[in-house]
Structure 1
Amino acid sequence: MTTTPPTTPPPLRTERLDFTPYRPEDEDHFVALLRNEVVCRWMGQDQVPEPDLRTLYKAIFTDVYPQRLFDAWGIWHEGAYIGHAECKKTGNVDGHELIAALLPEYWGKGFGTEVVHGLMRHAADNLGLKEVYGMVGAENEASLALCRRLNARHVRDVVGEDGTVTKMILIPLTDTA
């Protein structure tokens, strides 16, 4: 008997966080996160107009999940939405990229580290990957410090049209604890 693989990524759990595949009712949380000016700055992206974000959110259900394009979750702490996480193939190199964004009120509390560790475990255990990539703004000292703790290796700098520098890093998945 053949079973059809699920169209959503598996739910994940860390010590304090739940990684939950998005549901239609999570749309306003997603939009608010990605409309936050500070979040966009540290993600190295311009603010996207709200209607475009809503279209992007709907694509999670019409394209991303049904076609298994990549894994994306809402991140929850004690029932509150605190951010977004992805693990997907990157167009920058031959490999997978981890993406995480948290609401600013949850910064500096270890949640970013916990999200990245959860994504690393997923990449190693569920996808069988040996390494993953990340893109970190050159001025994002907190994320760069996390990369150093993960024994990440700097691959190259990517310079945007506006002159901003993003560091491409490679994270080995030998220890996903």
Structure 2
Amino acid sequence: MVIAVTERLVISEISIKEAPFFVQLMNTPGFLKYVGDRNIKTKKDAEAYLKTRFLKSYKDHGFGYYKMALKEHIDRPLGVVGILKRDTLDDADVGFALLPEFEGKGYGYEASVEILKLAKEKFKLTKITAITDPENMKSIRLLERLGMTFEKRVAPFEADKELLLFVKDL
């Protein structure tokens, strides 16, 4: 289901059929370095992850992560963008990930602006957060461009290093 259309992108709910794309996305050098190895190596791994994380989030919270695709190539995902409500953070957080060949073209910003609008208008969130690796300068710049400000360092995951927490009132 399409949830938003921007100048260049179609943002829609993720389905199990995107499992091969998820294997690819979650094993890119940037994802592995800054997000971590989620041990998604096969289509079956990706299907299980999508069911227990992304599809479950739609059901439990009414929002989640969505696939991004160019309008002229709607069947070829180029990345994900969305909102998650994690048990380890007080507020929902926005996130994004792109295949390397689509980075640096403004797609993450374009999609994130639309997701923040939806967070406020459709999902009625009043505050949004984001977490990122302190070394991920591309992500930090994007969060700042979205009007988010650094609040503090957090360690929201077991045995994980500290991450930067950014916030924005919607």
Say if 1:28 and 1:141 are closer, same or farther in 2 by CA, change over 3 A: same
After superposition, the CA RMSD in angstroms is 2.4
Larger Rg: 1
Structure 2 residue aligned with 1:170: 167
1:52 & 1:141 partners in 2: Cα distance? 29
Structure 2 residue aligned with 1:75: 68
2:78 & 2:108 partners in 1: Cα distance? 10
Say if 1:157 and 1:67 are closer, same or farther in 2 by CA, change over 3 A: closer
TM-score with structure 1 setting the length:
0.79
- How far apart are 1:72 and its partner, in Å? 2.4
1:62 & 1:107 partners in 2: Cα distance? 25
1:109 & 1:31 partners in 2: Cα distance? 22
- How far apart are 1:61 and its partner, in Å? 8.0
Q: What stretches of structure 1 move > 4 A for 4+ residues in a row?
A: 66-69
Q: Tell me, what secondary structure is at the counterpart of 1:28?
A: helix
2:168 & 2:55 partners in 1: Cα distance? 31
1:55 & 1:116 partners in 2: Cα distance? 26
Percent identity reads 23
Any unmatched runs of 5+ in structure 2? none
TM-score with structure 2 setting the length:
0.81
Kindly provide the amino acid, as one letter, of the partner of residue 74 in structure 1.
K
- Which stretch shifts more, 139-148 or 119-128? 139-148
How many residue pairs match? The answer is 163
1:30 & 1:136 partners in 2: Cα distance? 20
- Which stretch shifts more, 28-37 or 105-114? 28-37
Structure 1 residue aligned with 2:39: 48
